Structure formats: structure tokens, C-alpha cells
Amino acid sequence: MRPLLSAVVLLIPLVASANPFETHGKLQVSKSGTYLEHKDGTPFLVLADTCWTGPTLSTEKDWQIYLDDRKAKGFTAVQFNCVCPWRTAPTDASGRASYEIKDGKLIPDSAFFDQLEARVKAINNAGMLAMPVLVWAHKKGDAGFDLSEEQIVELVNYELGRLIKYHCLFIFAGDARYNQTDAEKWRKVGRAVFEKYPGLLVTTHPTGTNFLWKGWENEKWLNVLGYQSGHGDDANTWKWLHSGPPAEYGKHKEFTRPVINLEPPYENHNGYTSKKPHSDYSARRAIWWSLLVDPPAGVTYGGHGVWSWHAKPGEEPTDHKGTGVAKTWKEALNLPGAGQIKHVATLFESIPWTQLRPTQEFHQQEKGKDDPAMFIAGAKTTDNSTYVFYFPAGATGRTKLHIRGGPRHGIQWFDPRTGKWSERPTGGLYDKPDDQDWVMVVKP
């Protein structure tokens, strides 16, 4: 039987050319406040790979190998760390730090930033968005932890001076806590460096399972909300992601800023509870949940070994004990979850994704209420013409979908592992094709 959606024209292309920035212009926040779009109005879905230390530790040749691979796999962005020292890379491959402190004054290393700038330019030349973390800020040894407020301002101003001409979504601080103790510090620094650049795309990367943006409404420079669901593999972590603070924000009727999960669980990284590697399914489920519990703007993927630009087999990443032995970055490029990112694009290209809004009112969950692993995430377009539901694995025969509002047709199941479509009979009570995870698209 012919697939129902086989003749559908791509309603909103995610990447309309080899280099969408040349064709459609720079990025900005859409008028709806829910996603990014180019200057000419073409929407841009952020599908980012995590390569924190890649720009500093790579050779020019290896960086191009990496970018070619990620472009071919459907990624539209690369997120990375700008500054050494940090936990996994005290220096770049040439032994250079980003800066030195002399008599209290911060002095950037221009050669370090020459290489960084070349890597950022290569990202844009590959038709992808650069997402640089300007200062890591988790613990002693990180620039955002060790430097004074004045020195952070100096450093970030210098970085912006080097990178602002490129197509970037700037990530202000990595693994910052933004708690009562230091939230005002980061607000002050953010105002000092970003308020002079109206419209510059800026988000930030807090520690895991923290969605701390209540009270930041007046920080107009922070125009994209980032969060990290993290590497937990227990019921509380899953519930936090699909039914906690990110989802609560997704229930708002009016939105002012897009939301992106900047760190779901990394594939092959040990889970915090089980101490076993996250599978491609674990990473994939978090990605689909993230895209449907808020109006979709994008999501990130991470592969253990790629994020640390791991070069020596049989070791854990530097200063990340317990995360598990990592593959080398070249081996980790081929983790199965990375190849499934293009399937996310396939599904979203087939529907008017910019109109999707989270909804739980059109279905009843029999199993997901008691088992967070079985949660069905649902979204519908603002005109009620299209519904999308993500079914986790293991829900067959236990979790049913009841769509109210009259009979419907055009039902099709999408396999997020292969990118293929599978038809199922029309009716008022639906279940997925088999025991694996599936995405269901329903049209009137």
C-alpha cells in the first residue's frame, strides 16, 4: 500500500540549500517566540551535535571530516566550548590556553582564538549554525568559575569581537548553577556584554535538571531558553523532562522565547543510576520528548567520545570519572543515535512543525501515569489540523491513544529508528505497530 504521506510536499524545509545562511540570511527569533527563523522568514530547526572540545583539539583535516559526517547525518548545528582551560581540555592541541592573567588583567591568546575562529568559519561554511559556549562555569579550573566578574566581561567581549560576524547561537555559560548565590552575578555580566547587541541570539547552559528562568523575564538579552535534562536514567529524571518544569513552560498560551534541551543523555555515556551506557533508544526518547513537550525549536544530541574529542581508546574522558570508557571520536561518529537525527528532520519536514503546541488533552494514558518511561508526548498544530504523538518502547498493549473530536483519517506511523512510514487502520483507539518506539502523525 502506498504511504499516505509519500506525496506530501515539504511544507517547511529545515535546510533549503547547502548553506541556508547564504540563501535565507541570518537567524532571529520568530514573531511567535517559539523557534528560530532566517531573515526571510524561513524556519530553522536546531538539530545540534555536541562537540565540546572538538575545535580546540582537532586538526583542520579532522575537523572537516567531522563536519562532513555531521552534515551528512542531518545535523544543522554544532555546539562546543570556546575556552581552555576547562575540565576536559586544559589547553588546545598546541598547548595554548585561551588567556593568561597578568597583574589582574586578562590577556587573550590571539593564536588560540585564530584557530577557534577558523573552526567556527568551517561550521558556517558547512551550512551549520555554530553554538559556542563562551565560558564554562562548573567548578574550579573553569574560566567562569575562576575569573572575576570584570575578567569574565573582558573575556566574553573579546570572544564576541572575534565571533560576532559568524552565524552563531551563543551559549553564555556552561554548567552554571544560576542559584540564589550566583544568579545575579550572571545577570549582571549578561547585561554588560549582550545588551549592546540587540537581537544577538543568546542562550545559556545550566546544570542538569534545572529550569531556572522564572525571574529572568526582563533579561531581554537572553532570548533563547536552554536547559539540560542530563544523563540520569531513573524515573525522576524522565518525569522531570516530560512532565516537569520544561513541560510546565510548554503549557503557556503565549511564548516569548524558544526552548532547547542543550544536553539530553549522551549515547554510550553511563547513566547516573544504572552505571550502564545510555543506548541509542535512551538518547532518542529524550530527544523526541524534548521536541514535543515545548513548542519545537530544536534539540541537541551527544555521543560519548565525540563530545570530548576522545583520542585514546580504553579510557574515560579527562576529569569525568564514572562516565564510562569512551570510543575514540572517529569511532563514536558512527554511534547509531547520530544516524537517527536525519529521521527527526524527515518527520518535521512533512508537517507544519512551527505551529505545533504541546497537548495532553486529546489522549488518555493508561500506563504512562504510573510509569514515567511509558509517557506519550503529544502536540498539535494551532489550527488543529495535525497531531503528533511519540510512543516509547514497551507501551504496546498497555498504553492506548484516544483521540477525541470526531473521526479522522490520514493516520500514519513513523519509525524513528529507520525513518520509514508504516500505515495502520483508522479508528478511535490506536496502538503502535510493535513493541519498539514509534511516532504517530494524525491528520483530519
Instruction: Reduce the DSSP state of residue 25 to 3 states and report it.
Output: coil
User: Is the pLDDT reported for residue 8 higher than 50?
Assistant: no
Greatest CA separation for the chain: 74
Dihedral sign from CA coordinates of 51, 53, 56, 58: negative
> How high is the pLDDT of residue 16?
41
Percentage of residues of the chain with pLDDT beyond 90? 80
In one letter, which amino acid is 301? Y
* Burial annotation 60-70 (CB, 10 A radius, 16+ → b, else e): eebbeebbebb
On whether the CB atoms of residues 167 and 25 are closer than 8 A, the answer is: no
> How many angstroms separate the CA atoms of 265 and 276, rounded?
12
pLDDT surpasses 90 at 187: yes
Domains defined along the chain, listed by start = 20-354 (3.20.20.80), 359-443 (2.60.40)
CA dihedral 24, 25, 27, 31 (to 10 degrees): -70
- Ramachandran angles phi, psi of 407, nearest 5°: -65, 150
Cβ(222)–Cβ(190) under 8 Å? Answer: yes
pLDDT score recorded for residue 180: 82
Mean pLDDT of the chain: 90
Angstrom distance (rounded) from CA 29 to CA 6 = 31
Q: What is residue 359's predicted lDDT score, i.e. its pLDDT?
A: 87
Q: Is 59 left (phi over 0), alpha (psi -120 to 50) or beta?
A: beta
pLDDT digit string (tens) for 16-37? Answer: 457 999 999 999 999 999 999 9
**Total number of residues shown for the chain:** 444
| Whether the predicted pLDDT of 397 surpasses 60 | no
How does residue 368 score in pLDDT terms, banded at 50, 70 and 90? Answer: low
pLDDT of 408 reads: 54
Residue 438 pLDDT exceeds 80: yes
Compute the chain's Rg from CA coordinates.
21
Q: The whole model's pTM is what?
A: 0.93
> Tell me, what's the pLDDT at 7?
34
Rounded to whole angstroms, the Cα distance separating 122 from 64 reads: 8
Helix (H, G, I), strand (E, B) or coil at 275: coil
Written as nine digits, the cell of 204 is 545559556
CA distances from 180 to 72, 187, 297 (A): 43, 12, 28
pLDDT at 400: 54
Beta-bridge partner residues of 377? 390
pLDDT tens digits, one per residue of 206-249: 999 999 998 898 999 999 999 999 999 999 999 999 999 999 99
* Lowest pLDDT segment from 118-132, 225-239, 364-378: 364-378
Is pLDDT of 69 > 90? yes
Strand-pair category, 387-391 with 438-443: antiparallel
CA atoms of 247 and 242, how far apart (whole Å) = 6
Query: Across 8-17, 252-261, 282-291, which has the greatest mean pLDDT?
Result: 282-291
Please state the rounded mean pLDDT for residues 362-386.
79
Look at 172-181, 335-344, 426-435 and tell me which has the smallest mean pLDDT: 426-435
Q: Are 74 and 345 in contact (CB under 8 A)?
A: yes
Q: What is the dihedral of CA 71, 75, 76, 78, to 10 degrees?
A: -90
Judge whether residue 281 has pLDDT over 90: yes
Within a 10 A sphere around the Cβ of 156, how many other Cβ atoms? Answer: 24
User: Band of the pLDDT at 396, cuts 50, 70, 90?
Assistant: low
CA separation (Å) from 166 to 39, 131, 270, 421? 15, 10, 35, 38
Confidence grade of residue 299 (pLDDT, cut at 50, 70, 90): very high
Lowest mean pLDDT among 77-86, 360-369, 399-408: 399-408
> What pLDDT was estimated at residue 443?
81
For the CA atoms of 419, 280, 296, 24, what is the dihedral angle to 10 degrees?
-70
pLDDT(148) > 80: yes
pLDDT tens digits along 328-344: 999 999 999 999 999 99
Is the predicted pLDDT of residue 259 greater than 80, yes or no? yes
Please tell me the predicted confidence (pLDDT) of residue 364: 52
Q: What is the mean pLDDT of residues 410-415?
A: 89
What is the rounded CA–CA span in Å between residue 188 and residue 87? 25
